[in-house]
Amino acid sequence: MSLEALLTILGMAAVTFAIRAGGLLLADRLPTTGFIALWLRNIPGAVLASLIAPELIKGGPAAWIAGGAATLAYLIGRNVFATIVVGVLAIFLARRFLGL
Amino acid sequence: MTPPPSSARSQFFLGARSFIPIAISIASYGVVWGVLAGQAGLTPLEVALMSGLVYAGSSQFVALTLWSPGALPIGAIVFAVAIVNLRMMLMSATLRPLMQDLPRWQALPAMFLVSDEVWAITIAENAKGRGSVGFFLGAGTLAWCAWLGSTLGGRLLGAVISDPRTYGLDFAFTATFLALLFGMWKGKSDLVPWLAGALIAILVAQLLPGTWYIIAGGIGGSLIGALVEDWRLRHVA
């Protein structure tokens, strides 16, 4: 393992633990209402949407079909693993049989 | 009613037992992460270290999209991980009442086990008046074992897959993120930050190299979402 990789992993671990422990220490001072609280609550969804959207655009019709299938699978099953399986299977089939 | 101290052990096992169905679901996408980690060039040792020390699924998926052995963007990865994990600060904060019986030197390390799923099941148990530190630690310990074991298993398993595109595995990231995103749905007000983040990301991905679009969309989308929600709360009451 390179020193670079080790430092990256330790950096990820340190910042994540600081956030987890920080919440307990700052419990009384963290805003539960107002703008900052709204902002913090919105971050994870916005990050995930930012990860998804360019990939769907770049992936073309096969990715759109797979994205639709995965969405449908989630709405039916509400299960992360089932959604992944359906999405992967859909893009595999779309590429293989529709030539997308 | 306060449970007698002797029940801490039984609370631990109750927490672990209640968590089993969720642990199975965590383990299944842990395997996916492990396979993708192999494709991104992580060694089994790096997988074990990252899952064991960071132990935060969504942020580890994001880290993989930025991972390039030989020229690791350390700062960008750590920053992106921090952004994705910021939500856990609010989770730990809400666990404070549960941790009041523990001295701080024990309560702080225990926070390492906070994750979306462990937090949610503990809070749900707490709402029924049955939550406890032991329950939290039991659920968290099982979650950690499931994540570490499944990601390492996936990494070792993935070694036999040469081209992930052949099996459509390159889409596993997008599908995972979609499922995680839908799981966060709380109501119509979520649409603004999600759509704003998506649009900003698409735009920035065209304009800037690398993965700046993730941070731009994440910060931009969440700010716009908060601005709109804040304005609505003030003006449309």
Is the confidence at residue B73, as pLDDT, over 80?
Answer: yes
- Please indicate whether, in this complex, the C-beta atoms of B45 and A1 are within 8 angstroms of each other: yes
Cα–Cα distance measured from residue A70 to residue A90, given in angstroms and rounded to the nearest whole number: 8
Across the range B210-235, mean pLDDT stands at 89
CB pairs under 8 A between A and B: 288
- Please indicate whether, in this complex, the C-beta atoms of B93 and A71 are within 8 angstroms of each other: no
Closest chain B C-alpha to A16 CA, distance in angstroms: 6
Q: Which positions in chain A touch B99 (Cβ < 8 Å)?
A: 24
Q: Label residue B123 exposed, middle or buried (CB < 10 Å: 0-12, 13-18, 19+).
A: middle
Are A24 and B95 contacting, i.e. CB atoms less than 8 angstroms apart?
yes
Q: 3-state DSSP helix/strand/coil percent for chain B, to nearest 5?
A: 80, 0, 20
Across the range A40-58, mean pLDDT stands at 88
- Ranking A78-87, B79-88, B172-181 by mean pLDDT, the lowest is B172-181
Closest chain B C-alpha to A92 CA, distance in angstroms: 5
Decide: helix, strand or coil at residue B42: coil
Q: Which positions in chain B touch A35 (Cβ < 8 Å)?
A: 226-227, 230
Across the range B146-171, mean pLDDT stands at 85
pTM equals 0.78
- Write down the pLDDT at residue B45: 97
When comparing pLDDT for B220 and A84, which is higher?
B220
- Write down the pLDDT at residue B55: 97
- Please indicate whether, in this complex, the C-beta atoms of A48 and B181 are within 8 angstroms of each other: yes
Is the confidence at residue B131, as pLDDT, over 90?
Answer: no
Across the range B193-207, mean pLDDT stands at 96
Is the confidence at residue B162, as pLDDT, over 70?
Answer: no
Closest chain B C-alpha to A81 CA, distance in angstroms: 6
- Please indicate whether, in this complex, the C-beta atoms of B92 and A13 are within 8 angstroms of each other: no
